[in-house]
Chains A and B, each alone.
Chain A
Amino acid sequence: MTAEALYDAFKVSLAGGLLSLDRTAALQTMVSRPIVAAPVIGYILGNPSAGLIVGAMLELIFIGDAPVGRYIPVHETDLSVMVAAMTITIIDAMGLNSGVESGRRLIAAGVVAALPLSLVAMLPLSRVFHLADTFTRRANLRFFNSAQGAVENGVRISLTMENLKGLALFFTTNALALFLVSAPALFLSRLIFSRTGLHWRLLPAFAWCAVLGMAVALNAVYTDKRGALVFAASGIAAAIAFAFL
């Protein structure tokens, strides 16, 4: 069990570290957003559908927090990676994703039970990710200064290489932080939930997270009363379509 948890933690940290690069250091193609990162972790841990549910929900909850200026928002990538990994590990531990019993309905039940728990457990730990991130952003000044020193003295160096050292540091600190959190978290999840079966009773907590996600998103895209009307009209039109089509 320990070996399994460690191996999973290793895979998750590596993948999470790479995905996180997209958040600041490189590309910004948004593969670092929850809706992509969580399903990728799901795929790696053998449960993409659970990852997708986690991803869609966290995408909405963290929809509006953007890196403007020096302000650094909650590390949504690492958080989604961890919530997805923990949710899936709990589902596995409860035996819902293996053997004769496995199936869509059971996985859904597992997500309902495990997602709110994982989210509440991981949110305070996102502080660790924030610290790793802040450390990197401080340490990166070193690369700027050494590049500047070389240029001032007329030494011709590759700025690209100096720049990429920052990227390497982003990856290293992030992957380490992820491993530090995921190894104990995944081990404990396996240990605690191996004989538990929490199924639909956690539906209210799950539903709350879903409603919260949509409400945060609506609040974030709110422009004026017209926006609220657009939301209501589209929702009711969809409801009517469900009733008749």
Chain B
Amino acid sequence: MVSKYTMLRVFLGSFFIQSAWSFEKMQGLGFAAAISPALREIYGDDEKAGNDAVKRHLVYYNAHPYMASPVIGAVMRLEEKARDGERTPPAPAEFKNKVMGPYGAIGDSFFWSGLRPLASCAGAAAAIFWGIWGPVIFLAVYNTFHLWMRWNGLKKGYTLGEGVVGYIKGLDLPAWSIRARYAASAMLGLLAASAAARIPVSAGRVHAAGWAVATVIVVSGAAFLLGIFFKKGVSIPAIIYAAAIPLIVYGAVSGF
């Protein structure tokens, strides 16, 4: 068993897994740097074996940054088993190679496509009502899950070894990603309505409600059109230029 102190060092190292991100090796150096304190401890006095272990892990690696934690944990356990001469488990380097692609997919789909948009929409909606608390809520919603995955993932990986695969599967993150997107849609509805009710032209409650409904309809229509444009390969900057420049010129010229 590695010590609590080493576990903490690996945990902190996991926050720097992309510090030396490069096109060729991606998170390779970061992964090796994060796990090396554990490898040195696992192989203890056997300097050569420790060095070989570090060498094994100083290779191309890429997945979602948070999903490295369960992998690092599992690899630590597998390295221990390898040291003890157990033959049954998959070799650590091989295990790492097999899981990185799918774990990248699971992490990207939950954190980038599900949780972060939800936190963004919640934060932006909160900013309308409570100002500077908006960003605070954004960070709180997002990082609760983020930090949980980094810490809990590392611990579970170390406890379960290759069995962490079943654990991650059991979390059913892809399904939660879809749920998060429904929740984000709800937040956006609230956001659209409140943003409209806040613009200064609306006077009176019923008036504000009318603006709110109008905005919800306009945003739905715009989102539908955007879907068509994106499909045709039009980029977001292009859409911003196309509409904003004429409107700016109009605004500037109409003043004279």
Contacts and interface: CB of A to CB of B under 8 A. Distances in A.
A156 B39 CA distance: 13
Nearest to B40: A156
Interface residues of B, number: 101
Nearest to B179: A223
B29 interface: yes
A230 interface: yes
Nearest to B250: A204
Given A159-B54, A218-B220, A219-B226, A231 B15 contact: no
Interface stretch (A3-11, A63-71, A175-183): A63-71
A52 B182 contact: no
B248 A220 contact: no
Contact of B255 (A29, A164, A201, A204): A201
Contact of A219 (B20, B146, B227): B227
Given A144-B22, A235-B213, A120 B244 contact: yes
A44 to B, nearest CB: 14
Given A151-B54, A218-B220, A49 B131 contact: yes
B222 interface: yes
Nearest to A207: B199
Contacts, number: 325
Interface string A19-41: 00000111111110101100100
Name the residue among A144, A154, A162, A237 with the largest chain B CB count within 10 angstroms: A144
A61 B123 CA distance: 14
B43 interface: no
A150 to B, nearest CB: 10
Contacts of A60: 120-121, 124
Interface in A177-213: 198, 201-205, 207-212
Interface in B175-199: 178, 181-182, 184-195, 197, 199
A24 B252 CA distance: 39
A87 B192 CA distance: 23
B245 interface: yes
B22 A137 contact: yes
For the residues of A in contact with B, the DSSP-based class is helix
A114 to B, nearest CB: 11
A143 B54 CA distance: 15
B188 A69 contact: no
12 contacts: A36-B139, A61-B240, A69-B104, A116-B247, A119-B240, A137-B23, A164-B19, A166-B20, A198-B251, A203-B251, A211-B218, A218-B223
Interface of B: 13, 15-16, 18-26, 28-30, 32-33, 36, 47-48, 51, 54-55, 58, 62, 65-66, 104, 108, 112-113, 116-121, 123-124, 127-128, 131-132, 134-135, 138-139, 142-143, 146, 178, 181-182, 184-195, 197, 199-200, 205-206, 208-210, 212-213, 215-216, 218-220, 222-223, 225-227, 230, 236-237, 239-241, 243-245, 247-248, 250-252, 254-255
